[in-house]
Amino acid sequence: MALLLLRAVFGVALLMQGACYATETNASPAAGILGAVTLAAGGLLFIGFLTPIAGVMAAMGAIGVAVSWLPGCTQNLFDSRLALAFGSAMLAAIIALGPGSLSIDARLFGRREIIIPPRVPSSQR
């Protein structure tokens, strides 16, 4: 449930950020492309489909805006460095932990289970 909440909150934040790009007047083509990528990443994170790919897309866009390679939105949700740091931490957690059991990825590809083999003593090797 915690991964679902984390994915949903960050997905909605990305959807809102993408909507800011989409409704901006006099936006450059790069801003339009960034808005479409942000909307796509937010939607994919929200429903839990292709979660690692969506997370990397969102991270690349955030890095591009943070280092001023890509244009920022006028009403940027991640204006402050603190908000950007929190968003980056949430995104890293989502990428590292995966989508969770309540996601489309889990339904399509199955849940991953890591089995750690028992330790064999050196005398029995």
Residue 118 lies in a domain: no
Residue 113 lies in a domain: no
Whole-angstrom Cα distance, residue 91 to residue 74?
A: 22
Whole-angstrom Cα distance, residue 15 to residue 19?
A: 6
Tens of each residue's pLDDT in the chain, 125 residues? 777 888 888 888 888 888 888 888 777 888 888 888 989 999 998 998 888 888 888 888 887 877 777 776 766 666 666 777 777 788 888 888 777 888 888 888 877 777 888 888 877 76
Structural contact between residues 17 and 76, judged by C-beta atoms closer than 8 angstroms:
yes
Whole-angstrom Cα distance, residue 59 to residue 87?
A: 9
Residue 124 lies in a domain: no
Structural contact between residues 105 and 98, judged by C-beta atoms closer than 8 angstroms:
yes
**7: enclosing H helix or E strand:** helix 2-23
Range of the domain at 55: 2-105
Residue 114 lies in a domain: no
Domain count, the chain: 1
Residue 43 pLDDT: 93
Structural contact between residues 30 and 61, judged by C-beta atoms closer than 8 angstroms:
no
Residue 100 pLDDT: 80
- pTM recorded for the entire structure: 0.68
Report the 10 Å Cβ neighbour count for 113: 5
